[in-house]
């Protein structure tokens, strides 16, 4: 009894504290709004805050995003900034944690009073972060949250800076296959899909398109994330003898599928892997360069792209970080593109504030190094990825024709061993 009263009292204290915090938050947000408009004057630095995963599960990708943001800031400052204002990036670590990311954006907006915010890495962190931004009327350009849950929130302040939602990244492969003359199209298809919201739905979208076009499904398997040994799955693929193999893959499962097929000496006429095969360095080193020719995947930015700003980005990236164009992580390019979108808004409207960004970006097409981007009301981009193929040890865009740099090779050459 005593304890329940105490906990009730404790509850009361918590409620009181929470309401005070809310009131403070309201004060903070209103003062921030006035602060933001006050600093719009030319000359004051434009501070952009973002939470990034520098530690934890997403650390590698988080650091790639960090490189992209910082590179863009240094590039735009070298040109004199945005509307005469130098850009300062304020980046904080969220340790890949969905709770820390909320605190980080709260602090960036309320305590540090940043002018604008960019997104974190992964859909997992983008969902809670975008809600904080929405609450305070901040626009939310984000480079790495492309899952269905992000768009299901229906936030008008969110813009996913990639050509299409992740689950639609395989559609370009279906577009290309179905553009072939009927006699050259595959007749049978197998689908090997990782049980993951960023893998299986990609292959399922392709399967729906293929089945509607009369390409028969001869085998389909959704495998759990802990699958390590692909011998059994691939032995079944071999028995089904499909013309096309569509893998809804992430990373290591893509390498393992290729390796196992090589060992089983079965090479399908067409092979598409949604992810993993689009990694310029990892894929050849893991699957063997000799086995890459003809394998297709989807991508937005690629080395040698002629999209707006790509050449500058590549040169500046290599200068700042060393390596070659092939070593650039796409997450860096996507983060960089967030900045390009901002520059484009400023150039078009002559203003750079959250309300202008939100109201402007829902119309028109916005050129970036990922191609031209357009957004629907929920922040989902309405474009398409590029179909890329391994040719001569390199990833080459082969479809659509507008961005293609080579003709697609098919049927796929047999394995190099």
Partner 1 sequence: MHALVQGVILGILTGGVYALMASGQTLIFGIMKVVNLAQGAMVIMAAYLAYGLFTRFGLDPFLAIPITTVIMFGLGVGVELLFLRPLRREDKSELSLLVTFAVALLIEGVLSVTWGTTYRSINASYANSSWTVGSYQITVVRFWAFVLSLVALGLLFWLLNRTRFGRAVRATVQNPESARLLGVEAQWVSALGFGLGAATAAAAGSVYGLLYPFYSGSHYDLISRLLSIVVLGGLGSVGGAVIAAVIVSTSSAIVAATISPAWSEMTFFVILILVLLIRPRGLFGSVNRGAI
Nearer to partner 1, 209 or 286 (CB): 286
Question: At closest approach, how far in Å is the CB of 251 from partner 1?
Answer: 6
Determine the 3-state secondary structure of 259 from DSSP: helix
Return contacts of 312-317, CB within 8 angstroms, 24+ apart.
312/75, 313/71, 313/75, 313/369, 316/71, 316/74, 316/75, 317/67, 317/71
- CA 2, CA 22: separation in Å to the nearest integer? 30
Question: At closest approach, how far in Å is the CB of 170 from partner 1?
Answer: 21
- Tokens representing 9 are 């009292």
Nearer to partner 1, 175 or 195 (CB): 195
Nearer to partner 1, 32 or 61 (CB): 61
Binding positions for partner 1, rule: CB under 8 A: 59-60, 195, 221-224, 226-229, 231-233, 235-236, 238-239, 251-252, 255-256, 259, 262-265, 282, 285-286, 288, 291, 415, 417
Question: At closest approach, how far in Å is the CB of 60 from partner 1?
Answer: 6
- Tokens representing 96 are 């890949």
Nearer to partner 1, 88 or 227 (CB): 227
- CA 126, CA 103: separation in Å to the nearest integer? 13
CB 323 within 8 A of CB 334: no
Question: At closest approach, how far in Å is the CB of 279 from partner 1?
Answer: 10
Nearer to partner 1, 104 or 260 (CB): 260
Nearer to partner 1, 7 or 231 (CB): 231
Within 307-378, strands assigned E span: 366-368, 371-373
Question: At closest approach, how far in Å is the CB of 267 from partner 1?
Answer: 12
Question: At closest approach, how far in Å is the CB of 282 from partner 1?
Answer: 7
Sheet containing strand 270-273, strands side by side? 216-223, 188-194, 244-248, 270-273, 296-299, 386-391, 394-399
- CA 307, CA 161: separation in Å to the nearest integer? 14
CB 154 within 8 A of CB 247: no
């Amino acid at each position: 009894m005593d304890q329940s009263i105490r906990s009730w009292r404790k509850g009361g204290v918590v409620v009181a504290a929470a309401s005070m915090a809310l009131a403070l938050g309201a004060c903070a947000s209103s003062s921030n709004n006035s602060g933001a408009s006050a600093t719009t004057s030319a000359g004051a630095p434009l501070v952009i805050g973002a939470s990034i995963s520098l530690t934890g599960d997403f650390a590698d990708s988080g650091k790639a995003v960090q490189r992209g943001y910082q590179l863009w800031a240094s590039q735009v400052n070298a040109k004199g900034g945005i509307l005469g204002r130098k850009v300062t990036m304020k980046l904080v670590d969220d340790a890949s944690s969905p709770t820390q990311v909320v605190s980080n954006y709260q602090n960036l907006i309320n305590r540090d009073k940043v002018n604008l915010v960019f997104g974190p890495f992964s859909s997992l962190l983008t969902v809670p972060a975008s809600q904080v931004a929405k609450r305070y009327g901040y626009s939310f350009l984000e480079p790495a949250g492309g899952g269905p849950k992000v768009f299901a929130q229906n936030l008008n302040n969110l813009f996913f800076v990639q050509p299409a939602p992740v689950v639609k990244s395989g559609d370009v492969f279906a577009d290309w296959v179905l553009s072939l003359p009927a006699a050259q199209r595959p007749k049978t298809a197998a689908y090997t899909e990782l049980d993951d919201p960023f893998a299986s739905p990609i292959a399922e979208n392709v399967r729906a398109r293929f089945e509607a076009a009369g390409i028969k499904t001869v085998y389909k398997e959704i495998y759990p994330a802990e699958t390590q040994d692909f011998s059994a799955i691939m032995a079944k693929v071999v028995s089904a003898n499909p013309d096309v193999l569509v893998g809804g893959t992430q990373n290591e499962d893509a390498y393992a599928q290729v390796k196992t097929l090589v060992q089983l000496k079965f090479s399908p006429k067409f092979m598409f892997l949604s992810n993993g095969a689009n990694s310029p360095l990892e894929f050849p080193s893991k699957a063997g360069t000799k086995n890459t020719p003809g394998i297709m995947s989807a991508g937005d930015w690629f080395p040698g792209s002629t999209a707006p700003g790509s050449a500058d980005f590549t040169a500046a990236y290599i200068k700042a970080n060393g390596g070659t164009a092939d070593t650039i992580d796409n997450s860096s390019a996507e983060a960089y593109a967030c900045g390009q979108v901002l520059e484009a808004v400023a150039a078009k409207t002559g203003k750079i504030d959250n309300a202008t960004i939100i109201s402007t970006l829902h119309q028109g097409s916005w050129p970036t190094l990922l191609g031209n981007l357009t957004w629907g009301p929920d922040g989902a981009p309405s474009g398409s990825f590029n179909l890329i193929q391994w040719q001569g040890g390199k990833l080459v865009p082969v479809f659509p024709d507008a961005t293609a740099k080579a003709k697609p090779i098919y049927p796929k050459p047999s394995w190099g061993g």
